[in-house]
Chains A and B, each alone.
Chain A
Amino acid sequence: MKPGSGPAIETRGLSVRFGDVPGVLDLDLEVGVGEVYGFLGPNGAGKSTTIRLLLDLLRPDSGEARVFGTEVRTGGARLRADIGFLPGDLALFPFLNGFQTLRFLEGLSGRRATLRNEVLERLHFPTDALRRPVRTYSTGMRQKIGLVAAFQHDPRLLILDEPTTGLDPIVRDAFLELVNDRRVAGRTVFLSSHVLDEIDRCADRVGLIADARLRMESTVSELRESRPRTVVLRYADGRRESRQHHGEPNALLDEIHREGLVDVEVRPASLDEVFRSVVGGDGP
C-alpha cells in the first residue's frame, strides 16, 4: 500500500504483554478515513495501551500498526503531525499558562492552530483564564485545554482517550458536536471511552475490547439490533408486563395477551446492555 493512503488506522495481529499481564492480544482493527470510531471497554481492558501502540509511545511484541498506510514506527514526525492526541491521564506543564501550553504544543505539532479560537469558544473556555498558570485550573479546565490542543491544528486523525473526563454535561454536548463537525469535515476520530452514551451519540462504528482482546466490532445500529429489545405492555387494570424480544415482530404479536392491552412500548437494546452482555456484567 502506498504510504499516506489506505485506512486511517489499521492494525494486524498487534500484541503486547507487560511481563505475564497481557496488554493487547492479536488486535485486528480497521478505521476508515472520515469515520468516528468508538473504542469501548471496561477499565484495564487495553484501550489506552492500544492508543499508545498507535502513537508509537509503546512498541508491540508482535504485529503491526499503520496510520494512513504508514507503519507508525517508521512514520515519524510527519505522520504524527497529522494526529491530534488527548491522553487519558492528561498531565500539563504547571509552570505554563493555558495560552503558552497551546502555543507550545502548536509549535511542536508544526501546524498552524487554525481551530484554536473556535474550539476554545465552543468548549466555553473563559478567555481570561488562558493567562493563568495551568496549575490553578480545575480538572475540567485542564481537560478542555487538552482537547483544544488536540483539535487546534485540525489534524486528519484525532485520537482521544476518555475525552469527556471532568467535563460538565453542557460542555460534553459541545464536545460531541465538535466531533460530529470534524466527521463532516472528513476527519477521522478514534474515541476511547467507557461512557456508552457519548459513543452512542457520535460513533459510526464501535469496537469492544475486554481482557486485552477485541470482542466485537460493528456499527452502533447493528450492535443494537443484535440484542433483544425490551417490550413493555400496559393493561387497563394497571398491570405492567415486561419481556425481551428478539426477531420477527409478528411472533411477538402472537405471543402477547391482547385483552385489555392499552399501550405497548418497544425499547431498543441500549449500548449499555450490549456492553454488559459482552463483558459479562463487568460494565462501567
Chain B
Amino acid sequence: MSRPLFAFLLRRHWWTCGLCVMLPILIGLIVGVIYPTMEKERSVIGPMLDLMRNWFPELPNFLRPDGAFVWPYMHPMTLLAYVLAPAIVALAQPAGERGRGSLDLLLATRLSRTRLVTSVFSFMVPVAVVVALGPFIGSFIGSTLCGEVGSVPLGAYLLCSVEASALSLFFGSLALLVSVRARDRGQATLIFVAVTLAWFLVDVVSQMWKGAPDWIGRASPFGYYDPLGLAYQQEVSFTLDLLVLLVGAAVFLGWAVWLARRRRFA
C-alpha cells in the first residue's frame, strides 16, 4: 500500500465518495420524515403496495418500521452508490491515467504496476465499508426521528451493511480488472457499465418472474445481497453470500494484478 497514492486518491475522490455515502443517509432521513404519515394513511397506501407487489414481490412493507427502514438498503440510488463509489476510483486508476498520459509519470517512480493495483484496491476497501454504512446511518437517524428506533432490527441492518460492503467491493474489483485491461477510461467505463447492466437485468428478471429457477438470481452478484431477508430475519445464507462476493472480489483482484504484470504497455 502506497501512502502517497492513498492520500492522492483521497484528495481526488472524496467528493464523489462522500456523495455516495450521503445518498442512502438522505433516503433514510426522508423515510423517517414521511413514515408517520404513511402509517396514518395505511388504508390508502396498503392496497397500493399490494398492487405493486404483483410486479415486485420483494417490495418491503412500508407500513412496518422494519420494512420501511430497510428501504435505504434497497433504493436503486443506494445500489448505484454501492456500484459506483469504488468503481469510480478504479476506473480513474490506472485506465484514466493511461488515457491522459500521466500513468508514465506514476510508474517511473517506486510505484510498480502491482503496487498501483493493490494500492487502489486497498483504497477501495474503506470506501466500500463507508458507503455500505450509509444506509445503516440513514435508517438509524430516520427511525430515531419518528420514534421507531426500538422497532427496527439494527443488528440485522448491520449485517446488511456487511453484505453491502462485500457487494461494493465486488464491483470495485471488477472495475479494477477492466481498468487494468482497457485502453483508457472511456473503454473501461463502457465495459464496466455493460457488464453491470447485464447483471442488473438478470436480477430484475429473477425478481419479476414468479417461479424463476433459483440459479437465475444467483447468476448475478445482486442475487447475493438480500437486505429484506436479513431484515425480516428469514432464513438466508448470509455467510455463503458474503463468501461468494468476497471470493469474487479476490479473484478479480488477483486477475488484475496478473494482467498488470504481463501488460506490454504500462
Query: Taking beta carbons and an 8 Å cutoff, which residues of A are in contact with B?
Result: 52, 55-59, 76-78, 80-81, 83, 85, 87, 89-93, 95-96, 100, 103-110, 149, 159
Contacts and interface: CB of A to CB of B under 8 A. Distances in A.
A105 B104 CA distance: 12
B102 A93 contact: yes
Contacts of B40: none
B36 to A, nearest CB: 44
A95 to B, nearest CB: 6
A10 B100 CA distance: 30
Classify the interface of chain A: helix, strand, loop or mixed. mixed
B4 interface: yes
Contacts of B11: 95-96, 100
A149 B106 CA distance: 11
A78 to B, nearest CB: 8
A95 B12 contact: yes
A109 B102 CA distance: 15
Given A56-B266, A83-B108, A85-B104, 10 more contacts: A58-B264, A81-B110, A85-B105, A87-B101, A87-B108, A91-B101, A92-B105, A96-B8, A106-B4, A149-B105
A83 B2 CA distance: 18
B75 interface: no
B237 interface: no
Contacts of A103: 4
Nearest to A77: B110
A108 B12 contact: no
A108 B101 contact: no
Contacts of B110: 77-78, 80-81, 108-110
Interface string B106-119: 11111110010000
A59 B105 contact: no
A161 to B, nearest CB: 10
Interface residues of B, number: 25
Contact of A57 (B3, B102, B107): B107
Interface in B28-44: none
Interface of B: 2-5, 7-8, 11-12, 100-102, 104-112, 115, 263-266
12 contacts: A52-B266, A57-B104, A77-B110, A80-B108, A80-B110, A83-B108, A85-B108, A91-B101, A93-B12, A103-B4, A107-B2, A108-B2
A91 B115 contact: no
Contacts of A95: 11-12
A107 B102 contact: no
Given A77-B115, A91-B100, A109 B109 contact: yes
Contacts of B104: 52, 55, 57, 85, 87
B2 A57 contact: no
B15 to A, nearest CB: 10
Contacts of A93: 8, 12, 102
A85 B110 CA distance: 12
Contact of A87 (B5, B8, B105, B112): B105
A89 B115 CA distance: 24
A90 B3 CA distance: 23
A77 B108 contact: no
A80 B109 contact: yes
A104 B102 contact: no
Contacts of A159: 108
Contacts of A108: 2, 4-5, 106, 109-111
Contacts of B109: 80-81, 105, 108-110
A58 B265 contact: yes
